[in-house]
Structure 1
Amino acid sequence: MDYVTSTAIDPAKLDAIVSRAIGDLSAGYGGVMISIGNRLGLYKAMAGAGPLTSRELASRTTCAERYVREWLNSQVAGGYLAYHAATDRFELTPEQALVLANDDSPVFVAGAWAVPASMWADEDKALEAFRTGSGIPWGDHDGRLYCGVASFYRNAYKASLVPEWLPSLDGIIEKLTAGASVADVGCGYGHSTVMMAEAFPASRFRGFDTHHKSVLEARKIAADAGVADRATFEQARAEDYPGAGYDLICFFDCLHDMGDPLAAAKHAARMLAPGGTVMLVEPFANDRVEDNISPVARLYYAASTTICCAHAISDGGRTVLGAQAGEARLRDLFYKAGFTHFRRAMATPFNLILEARL
């Protein structure tokens, strides 16, 4: 096919798009290197160790030195390690360690590279979905998706959920402290549920998810944290999970994945106790496409294309919100479900924290 047209090419614009494409390609290659460094413990072995030679790092991690040396060079080229040319040593700075080595850090991202790895592994499924309009259920994805998503969100929730997000809701801290009933809908691995259970021992928490393996992992995480007595997990859909009289119902980064989010909101309205609150946490998005031009929005749109929309379509697809639904669409949905109060409690570069009440 001949792509040459009579339109004059602007060399500066061409250089800009080529540079962007090469930068993105480099980032894709670099993500493989970050994942390898994370899984082999290379970053952790360097954290706090000062400058190391490739041989010293290979010894610390029982890896082959020649591979380690090339990996180290890739990290220097990408700006993820400092290099001391005079001594041929490599160093992980404290700032770099927070991002790459400390898996409890709120800015740790190394584990999140499992998500794009799963997206590549599922490419053929995505192609088929595009061609046929069919969906891809959450459970049909490559297994790296689940641990990658859990890793991406766990630390952000750990840093913000209890100290910032919950206090931004009217009266919720007082209820949780005194003893409340909480449903965590679409809980995944249950990290959010467990964090709340750890912080508020007088309250009781029930996590619900449709993915059986995630429910099993959530139970294990709760047991390991010592909160299994007050944080339980069941396999159930957002439209029919059991219980009633919940003081707080949470949707953490999941409502947009559902095939019928309106039905989920209506069920939440039925399940709330008088004066109860819905806490809706969704990916940050402005209401217009032209206002969602950023690296974060690009990340969310891409994941939404192959994961979020794909699952919603597989789940009936009555309303396919996508991961960049925006506050206005979400407000309209909750008003249709019978809620009379809906407000933005706060926002971060990654999330909208929204409050809804009847």
Structure 2
Amino acid sequence: MDILKGKTIDQGLESPQEFAHRIMKMINSATMTVALSLGVETGLLKIMGGLQEPSTSSQIAQMAGLKERYVREWLGAMVVGRIVDVDPTENTYYVPPERRPFLVDGPMNVVAFSRLIPMLCEAYDDVADCFRRDGPAGVSYSKYGKFHQFMDHMSNMLHNTTLIPDVVPSIPGLMPKLESGCECLDVGCGRGRAILLLAQRFPRSIFYGIDISDEAIAFARNEAQRLSLSNCHFIIKDAASLPGQWVEQFGFITCFDAMHDMAHPRIVLNGAHRALAPGGIYCMLELNVHSHPSKNVGNPRAIDGYVISLMHCMPVSLSFEDGAGLGTMWGREMAVKMLEEVGFTDVTMTPSKDKFNLIYVAKKKTE
């Protein structure tokens, strides 16, 4: 990639035909994503990933408890999309073993992301209205239906596979702090997946989670009760208005994949800095991207990052009074700048195991 007069220039010029072909490939991929999402929603992909031998559409429909005609049409899309293989003689379908881990729950699952597309489109008309000069400033979170459940599913997979074995040990000084016991806070905790894992692993520490969603906090509280955890507490609270008594109280504060959604991120960071004890550790997880689009060309997460931001994260933030509309793609340069401006020091960035996210770690100076 070359930068010339402020424009991004790809190596080698595309012909008009190549440009049109590239757009058609994008559209084909998008339509395939809808079929993949249906496979996740109905459980068909899980069944296909677990088949021990090739099966007919009738057998697959029977296993899934679904109508054969719909299953057969879906299988057709999976075949031409080269997700599922077919034996045309026997009319049986199967998934080669090397593809199966990517279709079922586990650390290699990628098809779960497909559910995001129909969820984002739930607010398609609302977002289009926001573009207009006389349109609304943003879109209410309530417009997104199942989005909370989707994000919970994704964060659950991420935290279950990386939080305890990878993230915690990678932060210098954190493990002994948690093992000996300290107070911890998760800002924008959602359904509390991270806290629930940490509370089980580090019983001497006390964990607090705050989120603006009544539903998410209710779920987290029920899970804590089910797991008989007495060292975690969940509070319905706007992250931009932390309790006044939370001054230099916490030894460890986290914000996982949530800062870009905040209506007032600078206020949230200021509050977190105030609540962190001197020498305490602040950890934030965000997409592994840059702040300027020209530096994100070729990044496999950049396209979906910008579209998710456009269709959800930015308009939700802007729906609040004086919302910042930071967006998913605020990027490392802006993130580091904001962290340092509110007073954090020793800011480091470490790519996550899958390279898709960045783990920011910062400290509060010891007076």
> Does TM, scored on the shorter chain, surpass 0.5?
yes
Q: Is the CA contact (8 Å cut-off) linking 2:200 and 2:229 kept in structure 1?
A: no
**Deviation, structure 1 residue 235:** 0.9
- Give the 3 Å change call, closer, same or farther, for CA 147–61 of structure 1 in structure 2: same
C-alpha distance in 2 between matches for 1:185 and 1:136: 23
Written as runs of structure 1 = structure 2, the 5 A alignment for 1:122-141 is 122-132=123-133, 134-136=136-138, 139-141=141-143
The match for 1:257 among 255, 261, 267 is 261
The answer for the alignment partner of 1:352 in structure 2 is: 358
C-alpha distance in 2 between matches for 1:322 and 1:344: 19
**Deviation, structure 1 residue 39:** 2.3
- Structure 1 counterpart SS, 2:144: coil
C-alpha distance in 2 between matches for 1:327 and 1:55: 50
**Deviation, structure 1 residue 135:** 3.6
C-alpha distance in 2 between matches for 1:264 and 1:159: 28
The answer for the alignment partner of 1:4 in structure 2 is: none
> Percent sequence identity over matched residues?
27
The answer for the alignment partner of 1:200 in structure 2 is: 202
C-alpha distance in 2 between matches for 1:227 and 1:93: 42
The answer for the alignment partner of 2:241 in structure 1 is: 240
Written as runs of structure 1 = structure 2, the 5 A alignment for 1:1-358 is 13-46=15-48, 47-101=50-104, 103=105, 105-132=106-133, 134-136=136-138, 139-224=141-226, 226=227, 228-242=229-243, 243-244=246-247, 245-293=249-297, 294-317=299-322, 319-347=324-352, 348-358=354-364
- Give the 3 Å change call, closer, same or farther, for CA 135–194 of structure 1 in structure 2: farther
Q: Is the CA contact (8 Å cut-off) linking 1:134 and 1:313 kept in structure 2?
A: no
**Deviation, structure 1 residue 273:** 1.8
Q: Is the CA contact (8 Å cut-off) linking 2:40 and 2:115 kept in structure 1?
A: no
**Deviation, structure 1 residue 227:** 5.0
Amino acid paired to 2:214: H
Q: Is the CA contact (8 Å cut-off) linking 1:136 and 1:307 kept in structure 2?
A: no
C-alpha distance in 2 between matches for 1:155 and 1:138: 26
C-alpha distance in 2 between matches for 1:74 and 1:16: 25
- Give the 3 Å change call, closer, same or farther, for CA 311–117 of structure 1 in structure 2: same
- Structure 2 counterpart SS, 1:295: coil
How many residues end up aligned between the 2 structures? 346
**Deviation, structure 1 residue 318:** 5.7
- Structure 2 counterpart SS, 1:220: helix
Give RMSD over aligned pairs.
Answer: 2.3
**Deviation, structure 1 residue 207:** 1.1
- Structure 1 counterpart SS, 2:217: helix
**Deviation, structure 1 residue 85:** 3.3
Encode CA deviations 1:285-340: one digit per residue, 9 max, x unaligned: 12432121233111011111121211222234464322112222111111211222
Q: Is the CA contact (8 Å cut-off) linking 2:34 and 2:117 kept in structure 1?
A: no
- Give the 3 Å change call, closer, same or farther, for CA 328–19 of structure 1 in structure 2: same
Amino acid paired to 2:361: E
- Structure 2 counterpart SS, 1:106: coil
- Give the 3 Å change call, closer, same or farther, for CA 276–326 of structure 1 in structure 2: same
- Give the 3 Å change call, closer, same or farther, for CA 201–80 of structure 1 in structure 2: farther
- Give the 3 Å change call, closer, same or farther, for CA 316–166 of structure 1 in structure 2: farther
**Deviation, structure 1 residue 106:** 1.8
- Give the 3 Å change call, closer, same or farther, for CA 198–21 of structure 1 in structure 2: farther
Q: Is the CA contact (8 Å cut-off) linking 1:109 and 1:152 kept in structure 2?
A: no
In the TM superposition, structure 1's runs of 4+ consecutive aligned residues that sit over 4 Å from their partners are none
**Deviation, structure 1 residue 157:** 2.5
Unmatched tracts of structure 2, length 5 or more: 1-12
- Structure 2 counterpart SS, 1:141: helix
**Deviation, structure 1 residue 357:** 0.9
Q: Is the CA contact (8 Å cut-off) linking 2:257 and 2:286 kept in structure 1?
A: yes
**Deviation, structure 1 residue 137:** 5.2
C-alpha distance in 2 between matches for 1:49 and 1:223: 39
C-alpha distance in 1 between matches for 2:175 and 2:336: 23
C-alpha distance in 1 between matches for 2:39 and 2:358: 32
C-alpha distance in 1 between matches for 2:86 and 2:317: 46
Q: Is the CA contact (8 Å cut-off) linking 1:43 and 1:92 kept in structure 2?
A: no
Greater shift after overlay, 132-141 or 337-346? 132-141
- Structure 1 counterpart SS, 2:132: helix
- Structure 1 counterpart SS, 2:326: coil
